[in-house]
Chains A and B, each alone.
Chain A
Amino acid sequence: MAKVRSDLLQGTLDMIVLKTLELEPQHGWAISQRIRHISQGVFDLNDGSLYPALQRLERKGWITSSWQVTENNRRARYYRLTGAGRKRLAVEERKWVRASTAVNRILGIAYAGG
Chain B
Amino acid sequence: MGWLHGIRSRLRPLLFRATVEAELDEEIAFHVERQAEEYVRAGMPAGEAREAALRAFGRVDAVKEGVRIERGTRLLEDTGRDFRYALRKLRRNPGFTVAAVLTLALGIGANTAVFSVVNAVLLQPLPYAEPDRLVLLWNRSSSAGAQRMPVAAPDVAVYRERAKGFERFGFTEGTLDLSLSGREGPLHVRAGRVDPTFFHLLGVRPALGRGFSGREDVLPPEILDDSSATIPPAPVMLSHGMWKARFGGTVDVLGRDIRLNGQPAVVVGVLPADFELLLPPDVGVGRRADLWLPIRVDLSRLQRVDRLTDQDSDNTGAVIGRLRPGVTLEQAQAEMDGIAARLREEVPEYRHAGLRIDVVPMKASAVEHTRRILLALWAAVGAVLVIACLNVGNLSLARMLGRSGEIALRSALGANRWRLARQMLTESVLLAALGAGLGLLVAGGALPLIRKAGPADLPRLADAGIDGAALAFTLGCLLLATLFFGLAPALSFSRDGAGGHLVRRRGVRAADRHGRGIRNTLVVCQVGLSLTLLITAGLLLRSLLSLGEVSPGFEPRRVLTFELSLRYPDRYLGPADRAAFVHQLEGRLASLPGVEAVGLVGRLPLAGDLWTQPYGLDGASVEEWSANEADFRMVTSGYFRAMGIRLLAGRHFTEAEDLYERERVAIIDERMATRLGGTDGNALGKRLGFPLDGAPVWARVVGIVEHVRHESLTGNGRETIYVPYRQEASREFAVVMRTSGDPSRLVGPARDELRAFAAHLPMYDVRTMTDYIAAATSPTRFALGLIGLFALLALFLATLGLYGVMSYAVRQRRREFGIRMALGAPGKTLIRTVVASGLTLTGIGIGLGLAMSFVGSRFINSMLYNVGKVDPLTYSAVTSLMVLVAALACYVPARRATRVDPAETLRHEI
A: residues with CB less than 8 A from B are 27-29, 32-33, 46-49, 51-53, 55-56, 58-59, 61, 67, 74-77, 84
Contact A51 B23 (CB under 8 A): no
Q: Which 7 pairs, one residue from A and one from B, show the smallest C-beta to C-beta distance?
A: A46-B58, A52-B66, A48-B63, A48-B58, A55-B70, A56-B70, A29-B34
B-chain residues with CB within 8 Å of residue A53 when the two chains form the complex: 70
Query: Does chain A have a CB within 8 A of B72?
Result: yes
In angstroms, Cα B767 to Cα A32, docked, is 94
Q: How far is the CB of B404 from chain A (nearest CB, A)?
A: 38
| Shortest CB distance A80–B (Å) | 14
Does B57 sit at the interface, judged by CB under 8 A?
yes
- Inter-subunit contact A48/B60 (CB<8 Å): yes
Question: How many residue pairs between the two chains, A and B, have CB atoms under 8 Å in the bound complex?
Answer: 69
Q: Which residues of chain A come closer than 8 Å to B71, judged between CB atoms?
A: 55, 59
Which secondary structure dominates where chain A touches chain B?
helix
State which of B30, B34, B66, B72 has its C-beta within 8 Å of the C-beta of A59: B72
B27→A46 contact, CB < 8 A? no
Q: Do the beta carbons of B31 and A29 come within 8 Å of each other?
A: yes
Docked Cα-Cα span, A53 to B9, in Å, equals 15
Task: Please state if B30 and A51 are interface contacts (CB–CB under 8 Å).
Answer: no
Tell me if B873 is interfacial: C-beta within 8 Å of chain A: no
Q: Give the nearest-CB partner of A84 in chain B.
A: B2
> What is the minimal beta-carbon distance from B62 to any residue of chain A, in angstroms?
7
Q: Is B56 an interface residue (CB 8 A)?
A: yes
Question: 21 A-B residue contacts at CB 8 Å?
Answer: A27-B30, A29-B31, A29-B34, A46-B58, A47-B31, A47-B57, A47-B58, A48-B57, A48-B63, A49-B63, A49-B66, A51-B66, A51-B67, A52-B66, A55-B66, A55-B71, A58-B9, A61-B2, A74-B30, A77-B26, A84-B2
Residues of A close to B5: CB separation below 8 A: 61
Known: A48-B57, A61-B5. A75 touches B62 (CB 8 A): no
Q: B57 to chain A: which residues have CB within 8 Å?
A: 46-48
* B-side contacts of A49, CB under 8 Å: 58, 63, 66
Which of A27, A33, A48, A77 has most B Cβ within 10 Å? A48
Q: Which B residues are closer than 8 A to A by beta carbons?
A: 2, 5-6, 9-10, 23-24, 26-28, 30-31, 34-35, 38, 56-60, 62-63, 66-67, 69-72
Residues of A within 8 A of B38 (CB): 33
Q: Enumerate chain A residues within 8 angstroms of B72, measured Cβ to Cβ.
A: 59
In the complex, which residues of chain B have a beta carbon less than 8 angstroms from the beta carbon of A84?
2
Which residues of chain B are near A52, meaning CB under 8 Å? Answer: 63, 66-67, 69-70
Residues of chain A with a CB closer than 8 A to B24's CB:
51
Return A100 CB to nearest CB of chain B, in Å.
Answer: 27
Beyond contacts A56-B70, A58-B9: 11 other A-B pairs, Cβ-Cβ < 8 A, are A28-B27, A29-B34, A47-B56, A47-B58, A48-B57, A48-B62, A48-B63, A49-B58, A51-B66, A51-B67, A61-B5
Give complex CA distance A59, B35 in Å.
Answer: 26
* Chain A residue with the shortest CB-CB distance to B55: A46
Q: Please give, as numbers and ranges, the residues of chain B lying within 8 Å of A59 by CB-CB distance.
A: 6, 9-10, 70-72
A81–B706 alpha-carbon span in the complex (Å): 97
B31 cross-chain contacts in A, Cβ below 8 A: 28-29, 32, 47
**Among B24, B34, B35: residue with most chain A CB under 10 A:** B34
Separation of A47 and B26 alpha carbons in the complex (Å): 15
- Chain B residues with CB under 8 Å of A51's CB are 24, 27-28, 63, 66-67
**A30 to chain B: closest residue by CB:** B34
Q: B34 contacts which chain A residues (CB < 8 A)?
A: 29
Chain A residue nearest to B1 (CB atoms) is A61
Q: Are A75 and B60 in contact (CB under 8 A)?
A: no
- List the A side residues contacting B26 at CB < 8 Å: 75, 77
Contacting residues, chain B, for A29 (C-beta < 8 A): 30-31, 34-35
Q: Is the CB of A75 within 8 A of B58?
A: no
B10, B23, B56, B59: the one contacting A77 at CB < 8 Å is B23
Which residues of A have CB within 8 Å of B66?
A: 48-49, 51-52, 55
Residue of A nearest to B4 (CB): A61
- Across the interface, name the chain A residue whose C-beta is closest to B67: A55
User: Once bound together, how far apart are the Cα atoms of A59 and B9, in whole Å?
Assistant: 6
The residues of B that contact A76 with a CB separation of less than 8 Å are 27, 30
A93 shortest CB reach to chain B, Å: 21
